[in-house]
Structure 1
Amino acid sequence: TRHPLRLLNNIRKKRSYLRAIATLPIGVNIESAEHLNALDYDCVVFGSDEIWNICNPFSAGDLTFFGAGMGEGPKISYAPSLGSTSLDDPRLASLSPLLAGFEAISVRDENSLAIVESLTGRRPDLVVDPVLLSKPDRPIKSAKTAGAIGAYLMDPSKHDVQRVCQFAAEAGKDLCSIGYHYSWAARNIAFCDPADVPGLLAGCDLVVTNTFHGVVFSLKNRLPFIIVSHPSKDQKINTFRRRLGLSTVTGEIEE
């Protein structure tokens, strides 16, 4: 591989996620619509987050996430998102009959709301991310988070890295990257238990993020935070900007 260190980091991160998943009360592992039908559930709930994002390589093309191949039982959704999918994407037309089979649909952002309404003629409910329904997290203080700016950034551009590093330098604080390992961060906590991410961010003085959940964690725990734009996440984050007036409580890193 061209990037052995990156590969090693990804392996370590995957192991930390698998350990966390093993602690969850998960029932039957369902791998197909046929298997699901055989279990004869009273209702199937679809959600959450980007299972409906047809631009996301992890879910794109799998119509099972829209109920394809499933029986006649009730189908409802809670807080899925079409993510970076745009309203004029020609692939959306094939989803219309599938979504029409849902008894109730709720989504987490205004872009998804507009798309579902366009495809079905029904206006779905706009609901919050499930994270916001839970209690605030206990801050996890450590030598790495203390006094630092918590960086929760997914694939930031070189330009954004330069801006964030300059911002931290001018503030006289170290950057502590949480959940991702970056060589430009003075401190890294990349291989933590996923459940500890909100608490680790809460242990920092400030959060800089370009992710939807970075914003969610910050709002839930009442943390000061700065949003860095990201092309695949802005559609969801913009709902927070408009609905909560985030421009009045968040900062911007100047160009």
Structure 2
Amino acid sequence: MKRIGIVTFFQSYNYGVWFQAYATQAFLRGRGYDAQIVNYSNLHDDEKLKMAFKGKNSYMGYLISFAKNILFGGMHYYRKGFKKHLNTFYSLSSEHCTQIENLSDLHYDVLVAGSDQIWNPETTGGTLDPVFLLQFGIADKRISYASSIGSTEIREQDKALMKKALEEFSYISVRETFAKQQLEKIMNRNINVVCDPTFLLTGEEWRLFAKQYSDYLENDQKYILTYFVSLEKYSEHCINLVKTYSESLGLPVWAVQFTRYYSKNCDKKILGASIADMIRLIEHAELIITDSFHGVALSVNLGKNFVAVENRGNPYRTRNLLSRLNLLDRIDMDIENYSKVDYSNVTVLLNDFRKESVDWFCEAIEN
């Protein structure tokens, strides 16, 4: 049995991070590999947590909101949710560390640079993290699966480092066509585009997972689920969009939030849900309105009706996915043009993409 070490974000207070890390490990374990997540986090990973508490326009807004959550327990919900899934859903390497030096003795058959924006310096304190470029430990093979650079071009000062590090990889795949184009400019090799790890598990597998680990919804309830990860949630466009859908469909709004304070335009606030709870919330919603890439991805995978609010600070991820599935019209779709998603063709496209990605991943490990 091959031992596989997965290097990715997994400790952020961010559902997308949790979903993709769990899915990568679950997929590999389901294929019979001894897969574990390397228990490493970047020192600047707490910036994701800070953004969750940031106010509309100012650092003072962040401080006020952060203080409120310390005083009134808002952070408690997400610590609780994080610990719940960390202890239940992950198999980790030994002690947690934040320094590459502590990883030098790790030995795997295969090291996998996992998904999410691990190659985006904006997520790692302004510099590329060599751990996410697999510059540590002992491994027979180094590969990347669905790694992302976000929506920014590779900086001149990073090109040499990335080229040198990635030359040590046996196989390279990325999540977006944008990343493929950027990397192929600096490397004389083909870069593959594969699906996000959350698609490695089918919608039915996600439903079974949620059924096993969550009893969040005991009664049939109809609602619109909103999940926002960017400052778009404060925009007049977004607020009006949600309000219009709620009034037109006659449904209450359930808002997934990182704090108890940012939104008053909802009927119910969801705080501290585990990833299994989130799957159930998406599965049972009448409509999902989200600017989150993984919110969109899971809505598609579960065959749900959704509206994708454009995340203008990081648009390529969602646009790339929806373009591939012929669903670009779901971006900022207003109520006048709203219709339920016709999944007959989408399912065919998604299954083909999934099969291509699974075949590539397995070949990269075994070849």
Which of the five TM-score ranges fits, normalised by the shorter chain? Answer: 0.7 to 0.9
Counterpart of 1:2 in structure 2 is: 64
2:235 is matched by which residue type in structure 1? Answer: K
Q: Is the 8 A contact 1:55 1:85 kept in 2?
A: no
Q: TM-score, normalised by structure 2?
A: 0.62
Is the alpha carbon distance of 1:9 and 1:119 closer, same or farther for their aligned partners in structure 2, counting shifts above 3 Å?
Answer: farther
Distance in structure 1 (CA, Å) of the matches to 2:138 and 2:216: 49
Determine helix, strand or coil for the equivalent of 1:113.
helix
Matched, 1:210 2:266: no
Counterpart of 1:56 in structure 2 is: 123
Counterpart of 2:319 in structure 1 is: 238
Query: % of aligned pairs identical?
Result: 22
Distance in structure 2 (CA, Å) of the matches to 1:144 and 1:90: 55
Distance in structure 2 (CA, Å) of the matches to 1:218 and 1:228: 13
Structure 2 residue aligned with 1:47, among 92, 109, 114?
114
Structure 2 residue aligned with 1:167, among 237, 245, 249?
245
Question: Which range moves more in the overlay, 241-250 or 75-84?
Answer: 241-250
Counterpart of 1:82 in structure 2 is: 149
Q: Is the 8 A contact 2:105 2:138 kept in 1?
A: no
Matched, 1:20 2:85: yes
1:159-180: CA deviation from partner (whole Å, max 9, x where unpaired)? 2223322332233221111354
Matched, 1:222 2:303: yes
Matched, 1:35 2:102: yes
CA RMSD of aligned residues (A): 2.8
| Shift of residue 49, structure 1, vs aligned partner | 1.1
Q: Is the 8 A contact 1:79 1:128 kept in 2?
A: yes
Counterpart of 1:152 in structure 2 is: 227
Distance in structure 1 (CA, Å) of the matches to 2:301 and 2:125: 27
Q: Is the 8 A contact 2:258 2:271 kept in 1?
A: yes
Q: Is the 8 A contact 1:20 1:194 kept in 2?
A: yes
Q: Is the 8 A contact 2:289 2:306 kept in 1?
A: yes
1:11 is matched by which residue type in structure 2? Answer: H
Distance in structure 2 (CA, Å) of the matches to 1:193 and 1:164: 24
1:203 is matched by which residue type in structure 2? Answer: H
Q: Is the 8 A contact 1:176 1:185 kept in 2?
A: yes
Q: Which runs of 4+ in 1 moved over 6 A?
A: none
Q: Is the 8 A contact 1:207 1:223 kept in 2?
A: yes
Distance in structure 1 (CA, Å) of the matches to 2:136 and 2:93: 21
| Shift of residue 33, structure 1, vs aligned partner | 3.4
1:20-50: CA deviation from partner (whole Å, max 9, x where unpaired)? 1011222324634333331232221110211
Aligned ranges for residues 50-199 of structure 1 at < 5 Å? 50-57=117-124, 60-70=127-137, 73-87=140-154, 89-93=155-159, 94-136=161-203, 137-138=206-207, 142=217, 146-155=221-230, 156-159=233-236, 160-181=238-259, 182-199=263-280
Q: TM-score, normalised by structure 1?
A: 0.86
> Would you tell me which structure has more helix in proportion to its own residues?
2
Q: Is the 8 A contact 2:118 2:148 kept in 1?
A: yes
Q: Is the 8 A contact 2:107 2:137 kept in 1?
A: no
Question: Which range moves more in the overlay, 167-176 or 206-215?
Answer: 167-176
Q: Is the 8 A contact 2:175 2:196 kept in 1?
A: yes
Determine helix, strand or coil for the equivalent of 1:226.
strand
Structure 1: unaligned runs, 5 residues or longer: none
Is the alpha carbon distance of 1:60 and 1:166 closer, same or farther for their aligned partners in structure 2, counting shifts above 3 Å?
Answer: farther
Determine helix, strand or coil for the equivalent of 1:2.
helix
Q: Is the 8 A contact 1:180 1:188 kept in 2?
A: no
